[in-house]
Amino acid sequence: MNKTIYTSLMIVVLMLALLSGCGSSDAGSEGNSESADSITVKIGLLKNVTHAPAFVAIKKGYLQERLGANVKIEVQSFSNGSDFSTAMATGQIDIGYVGPSPVINQYVRSKNIKILSGANNGGAMLVARKGSDVLSVKDLAGKLVAIPTKGSTNEISLRLLLQEQGLKVTTDKSGAQIIAMAPADTLTAMKQGQVDAALLPEPWGTQIANEGIGEIVADWNQIPPNKGNYPLTIIVSSEDFLNKHRNLAKSVLLANEDAIQFIHDNPDDTYSLVNDELKELTGKGLDVELIKAALEHLNLTTTIDEDALKTMAQVAVDAGYIKGVSPDGLDLEGLYDLSLLKETQEGK
CATH class assigned to 39-122+231-345? alpha beta
Q: How far apart (Å, rounded) are the C-alpha atoms in residues 20 and 204?
A: 59
Tell me the backbone φ, ψ of residue 29, rounded to 5 degrees: -70, -20
Q: How far is residue 316's CA from residue 313's CA, in Å, rounded to a whole number?
A: 5
Between CA 32 and CA 247 the distance in angstroms is 11
Closest CA to 272 of 122, 123, 52: 52
pLDDT in tens, 329-338: 788 989 999 9
- Looking at domain 124-228, its CATH class is alpha beta
How many beta carbons lie within 10 A of that of residue 207, not counting itself? 21
pLDDT digits over 172-207, tens only?
989 999 999 999 999 999 999 999 999 999 999 999
Confidence bin at 323 (pLDDT 50/70/90): confident
Rounded to 5 degrees, what angle do the CA atoms 125, 126, 130 make?
Answer: 130
Dihedral angle, C-alpha 341, 344, 346, 348, nearest 10 °: 120
Residues 18-77: pLDDT tens digits? 444 443 333 333 333 444 478 999 999 999 999 999 999 999 999 999 999 999 999 999
Domain segments of the chain: what residues?
39-122+231-345, 124-228
For the chain, the helix, strand and coil percentages under 3-state DSSP, each to the nearest 5: 50, 20, 30
* Range 158-179 average pLDDT: 95
What does pTM read for this prediction? 0.87
Which DSSP state fits 137? Answer: G
Q: Is the model's pLDDT at 322 over the cut of 50?
A: yes
198 forms bridges with which residues in the sheet? 127, 146
Q: How confident is the model over 337-343, as a mean pLDDT?
A: 97
What does the pLDDT look like over 66-93, one tens digit per residue? 999 999 999 999 999 999 999 999 999 9
**Residues 92/97/101/106 CA torsion (nearest 10 deg):** 20
Is pLDDT of 169 > 50? yes
